[in-house]
């Protein structure tokens, strides 16, 4: 069931582009490798980019135990935002230019993932980055796991906002001799670059990397 | 001259990747179409994606006069972050996986751009989106300009962080039979999509769109 908007997730600006659909939220999170996290401390507001991944109804992040951000996120609510830019929208009038995008904002409090859950969470992260790779690499040892903090936030209080499609010009501008349309943007994937000291053949996730490019 | 780090911009985590170089900061801002802005209000912290562009030593944003964010940004310091993800870094050990990226964090207070400066700022925005287009479109009228707020923040208190290159594995892992390297990520540009009701030939900025793709 899709959650109802809260005072923090009720979209006011161009509300027709808002959505509280859980399937859309999952798709936006799953298409991302990183999010931006907003929180405050004695120095004011901070906006930190960090890797993220989803397991079920939670978004996960990780970092070093000493991370200032992770310490703060245990003590306060925050806002996690993911944005995919899909194109520049060129209208006939300067004022009606826009961008196509898919964004998600998630509000709430991160919780610490305990030792029992940490391994499964980090293995899910690897599966998100490079399917099948976990079984190929040297797994984390006790010291490495102990140095790593994993946290998660529920995807319960969230709003998505999506703009897609052509420009919306005013009717009186439609006859102007101005080119109008969309300049699409997407994610490009380049050919895998093996490490200079690597003589091992590329595994499936490296060979399939470019085939899976989302493109435009 | 490059600014010295402040308590807000002194990078502590993996400080070897930090830079306070103004040229790098400009390049990271100029490669972006959007930033994420962190600020607080009675509901807590917010992280809002918004379009941005640079003129000289300032980053500009714009929006409707009624925007909650723009009203808040006149009253408080904030943090503006831009992140470009350049690749997934696959190491021989799970723990040494990383990402290549270029990020910039800018701290300070936005200031309102006055009516005299607003037109030049919005024309610079158009030039950033689509060079040469301003002279082709129906320009803003008095009512449209009056409905639009433009704000700018100095690029004075800022830090960049960049990771590039191959994985950094521990020496004792180098002999493992594990593929290691980088899976490059970049920005893809798709073929321009003319509006259904547009019969005007594509202008230079649309025809050259894909040639200028940053790629990987």
Tokens of B16: 């070897």
pLDDT at B93: 98
The mean predicted confidence, pLDDT, of chain A is: 96
Structure confidence at residue A101 as a pLDDT band (50, 70, 90): very high
Q: Does pLDDT of B1 surpass 80?
A: no
pLDDT at B14: 85
- B104 close contact with A: CB closer than 8 A: no
* Residue length of chain B: 216
Q: What is the 3-state secondary structure (H, E, C) of chain A?
A: CCCCCCCCCCCCCCHHHEECCHHHHHHHHHCCCEEEEEEEECCEEEEEEEECEEECCEEEEEEECCCHHHHHHCCCCEEEEEEEEEEEEECCEHHHCEEEEEEEEEEECCEECCHHHHHHHHHHHHHHHCCCCCCCCECCCHHHHHHEEEEEEECCEEEEEEECCCCCCCHHHCCCCCCCEEEEEEEEECCCEECCCCCCCCCHHHHCCCCCCCEC
Closest among B126, B125, B191 to A181, alpha carbons compared: B191
CB < 8 Å to A95, chain B: 140-141, 144, 148
List the strands of the sheet with A111-112, edge to edge.
Answer: A53-55, A58-64, A148-154, A111-112
DSSP B105-173: EEEE--EEPPHHHHHHHHHHHHHHHSTT-TTTSB---HHHHHHEEEEEEESSEEEEEEE-SS----GGG
- The beta-carbon contacts of A21-25 under 8 Å, at least 24 apart in sequence, are A21/A160, A22/A155, A24/A102, A24/A160, A24/A162, A25/A104, A25/A155, A25/A158, A25/A160
Q: What are the structural domains, with CATH classification, of chain B?
A: 15-207 (2.30.110.10)
Nearest chain B residue (CA) to A126: B94
- For the stretch A164-215, pLDDT in tens is 999 999 999 999 999 999 999 999 999 999 999 999 999 999 999 999 888 8
Contact present, B69 and B50 (Cβ < 8 Å): yes
Phi-psi region of B13 (alpha: psi -120 to 50; beta: other; left: phi over 0): beta
Instruction: Quickly count: other Cβ atoms within 10 Å of residue A17's Cβ.
Output: 14
CA B167 – CA B176 distance, rounded (Å): 14
Among the partner-chain residues B45, B51, B78, the one whose CB lies closest to the CB of A78 is: B45
- B16 close contact with A: CB closer than 8 A: no
Contact A182 B192 (CB under 8 A): yes
CA A155 – CA A3 distance, rounded (Å): 10
Neighbour-count burial of A168, counting CB atoms closer than 10 A to its CB (0-12 exposed, 13-18 middle, 19+ buried): exposed
Contact present, B61 and B151 (Cβ < 8 Å): yes
Contact present, B123 and B133 (Cβ < 8 Å): no
Among the partner-chain residues A78, A137, A203, the one whose CB lies closest to the CB of B92 is: A137
CA distance B183 to chain A (A): 5
- For the stretch A24-44, pLDDT in tens is 999 999 999 999 999 999 999
Among the partner-chain residues B76, B178, B184, the one whose CB lies closest to the CB of A200 is: B178
Instruction: Quickly count: other Cβ atoms within 10 Å of residue B32's Cβ.
Output: 20
CA angle A150, A151, A152 (to 5 degrees): 135
Nearest chain A residue (CA) to B197: A174
Instruction: Quickly count: other Cβ atoms within 10 Å of residue A144's Cβ.
Output: 16
pLDDT at A1: 62
CA A44 to each of CA A145, B39, B81: distance values in angstroms, whole numbers, following the listed order: 31, 8, 14
Neighbour-count burial of B14, counting CB atoms closer than 10 A to its CB (0-12 exposed, 13-18 middle, 19+ buried): exposed
CA A147 – CA A3 distance, rounded (Å): 35
- For the stretch B73-103, pLDDT in tens is 999 999 999 999 999 999 999 999 999 999 9
- The stretch A126-151 carries a mean pLDDT of 97
CB < 8 Å to A206, chain B: 90, 179, 181, 183
Report pTM.
Answer: 0.97
- For the stretch A75-98, pLDDT in tens is 999 999 999 999 999 999 999 999
Q: Does pLDDT of B3 surpass 90?
A: no
- For the stretch B119-148, pLDDT in tens is 999 999 999 999 999 999 999 999 999 999
Please report, for chain B, how many H helices and E strands are present, in that order: 5, 12
pLDDT at A215: 87
CA A86 – CA B189 distance, rounded (Å): 9
CA B36 – CA A81 distance, rounded (Å): 8
């Amino acid at each position: 069931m899709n959650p109802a908007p809260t005072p923090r997730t009720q979209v006011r600006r161009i509300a027709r582009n808002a959505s509280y659909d859980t399937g859309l939220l999952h798709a936006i999170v799953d298409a991302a490798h990183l999010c931006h996290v907003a929180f405050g401390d004695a120095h004011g507001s901070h906006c930190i980019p960090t890797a993220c991944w989803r397991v079920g109804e939670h978004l996960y992040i990780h970092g070093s135990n000493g991370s200032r951000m992770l310490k703060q996120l245990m003590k306060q609510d925050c806002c996690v935002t993911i944005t995919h830019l899909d194109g520049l929208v060129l209208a006939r009038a300067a004022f009606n230019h826009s961008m196509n995008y898919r964004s998600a904002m998630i509000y709430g409090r991160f919780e610490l993932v305990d030792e029992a859950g940490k391994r499964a969470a980090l293995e899910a992260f690897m599966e998100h980055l490079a399917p099948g790779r976990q079984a190929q690499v040297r797994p984390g040892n006790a010291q490495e796991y102990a140095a790593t903090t994993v946290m998660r936030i529920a995807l319960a209080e969230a709003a998505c906002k999506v703009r897609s499609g052509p420009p919306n010009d005013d009717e009186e501008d439609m006859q102007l001799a101005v080119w109008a349309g969309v300049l699409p943007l997407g994610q490009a994937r380049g050919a895998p670059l093996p490490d200079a000291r690597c003589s091992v053949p590329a595994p499936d996730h490296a060979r399939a990397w470019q085939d899976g490019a989302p493109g435009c």
